């Protein structure tokens, strides 16, 4: 619900003239923690029990959101505090992701990773079927309500995670300490892993530009009222859930590399459609395709990395990906803040699609060795 409610909250503090800059600022604040804390989160994931880390992260998120509820109810929230809220939630999410992604290969066999990642994506996105439209609806009634609901959901999540078995760290070979340098060397030694690292960073620039500007594209260009913003975003969640449920068959049919390239191309076309349209129903189609393609790409790339990365380095190498993803998101938010008013919302989203299409040849070349490395991993 916070995903739908926070942009609406920000817009209540700003004039129409500065809306794009305010949204960019909060997106910047939400992304900065991943840049600062990705590497420590990966080190923690390889040093401590990952189950305990994810439970702790959920509990902290609940406490922070309850604090936000109090501030909103007291009419004491402002743009600075909204940015701080985004920063703290981003920091906690960084540690959660840093522990959760390396935990999955310890719970399922390698041949089931695509299916497991797909089901996780479907469940995660499926919860937003209710969360996104309800978040914007509750916000229109009582602004603090969606944040309280999210706080309660984090408490429930922490309780469910307690049912998982302990996830202790892998023993270090030859007395090796938990440092980041071996992870960097492992990443550099694999051309596919290095290609994915660079490409994910650039893809996050384009995704962030489109995502930050989505409220303005829907409102100013497609004529969608603010109260329907969450319902429109729900279409991305539907697309993402469909991808999570169907990804295994697609990956088997296309192979991991072709599935990933297809996801990138289709996602770029969705940005072009979204940026050009002035009709709400066309924007809805673009949002559905957007959600489907992004989730398919995330599932494929995550499964590839989980199979190819050495088990004792999994947390740290994954944190390097979190780092470049954060840098890409940070740059995307900064571009919106700096250029949003001058370039315009539609042209910026269209430019994101064009840039993404230009990446495809390099992605194809860089991933040629994936099959061989997966066979040897």
- Report yes or no on 39 lying in a domain: yes
pLDDT band at 175 (very low <50, low <70, confident <90, very high): low
- Report yes or no on 249 lying in a domain: yes
Domain that residue 297 falls in: 2-165+179-376
pTM for the predicted model, two decimal places: 0.71
- Report yes or no on 202 lying in a domain: yes
Give me the DSSP letters along 175-234. G----SHHHHHHHHH-HHHHHHHHHHHHHHHHHHHHHHHHHHIIIIIS---GGGHHHHHH
- Report yes or no on 230 lying in a domain: yes
Q: What would the pLDDT profile of 209-240 be if each residue is shown by its tens digit?
A: 888 888 777 777 767 776 676 667 778 888 88
Task: Say which CATH number the domain at 123 has.
Answer: 1.20.1250.20
- Report yes or no on 171 lying in a domain: no
Question: Is the pLDDT at 270 greater than 70, yes or no?
Answer: yes
Domain total for the chain? 1
CA 235 distance to own-chain centroid: 16
- Report yes or no on 174 lying in a domain: no
- Report yes or no on 170 lying in a domain: no
- Report yes or no on 371 lying in a domain: yes
- Looking at every residue in the chain, the average pLDDT score rounds to 81
Extract the tokens encoding 145. 């309500």
Q: What would the pLDDT profile of 316-369 be if each residue is shown by its tens digit?
A: 888 888 888 888 887 887 888 787 667 777 888 888 899 999 989 988 888 887
Name the more confident of 231 and 56.
Answer: 56
pLDDT band at 289 (very low <50, low <70, confident <90, very high): very high
């Amino acid at each position: 619900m916070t995903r739908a409610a926070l942009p609406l909250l920000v817009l209540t503090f700003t004039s129409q003239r500065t809306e794009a800059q305010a949204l960019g600022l909060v997106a910047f604040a939400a992304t900065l923690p991943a840049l600062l804390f990705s590497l420590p989160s990966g080190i923690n994931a390889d040093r401590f029990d990952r189950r305990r880390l994810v439970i702790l992260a959920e509990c902290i998120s609940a406490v922070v959101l309850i604090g936000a509820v109090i501030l909103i109810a007291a009419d004491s929230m402002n743009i600075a505090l909204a940015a701080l809220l985004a920063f703290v939630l981003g920091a906690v999410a960084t540690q959660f992701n840093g522990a959760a992604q390396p935990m999955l290969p310890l719970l399922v066999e390698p041949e089931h990773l695509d299916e497991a990642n797909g089901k996780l994506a479907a469940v995660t996105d499926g919860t937003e079927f209710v969360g996104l439209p309800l978040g914007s609806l509750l916000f229109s009634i009582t602004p603090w309500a969606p944040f309280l609901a999210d706080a309660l959901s984090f408490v429930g999540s922490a309780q469910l995670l307690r049912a998982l078995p302990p996830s202790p760290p892998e023993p270090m070979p030859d007395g090796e300490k938990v440092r980041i340098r071996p992870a960097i060397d492992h990443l550099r030694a694999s051309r596919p892993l290095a290609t994915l690292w660079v490409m994910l960073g650039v893809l996050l620039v384009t995704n962030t530009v489109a995502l930050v500007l989505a409220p303005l594209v829907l409102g100013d260009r497609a004529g969608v009222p603010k109260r329907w913003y969450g319902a429109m975003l729900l279409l991305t969640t539907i697309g993402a859930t469909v991808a999570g449920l169907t990804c295994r068959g697609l990956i088997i049919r296309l192979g991991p590399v072709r599935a990933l390239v297809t996801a990138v191309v289709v996602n770029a076309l969705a940005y072009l459609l979204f940026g050009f349209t002035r009709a709400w129903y066309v924007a809805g189609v673009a949002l559905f395709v957007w959600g489907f393609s992004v989730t398919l790409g995330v599932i494929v790339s995550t499964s590839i990395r989980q199979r190819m990365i050495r088990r004792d380095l999994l947390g740290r190498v994954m944190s390097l990906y979190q780092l470049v993803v954060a840098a890409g998101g940070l740059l995307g938010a900064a571009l919106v803040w700096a250029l949003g008013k001058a370039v315009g919302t539609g042209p910026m989203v269209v430019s994101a699609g064009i840039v993404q299409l230009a990446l495809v040849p390099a992605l194809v070349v860089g991933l040629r060795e994936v099959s061989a490395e997966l066979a040897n991993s």
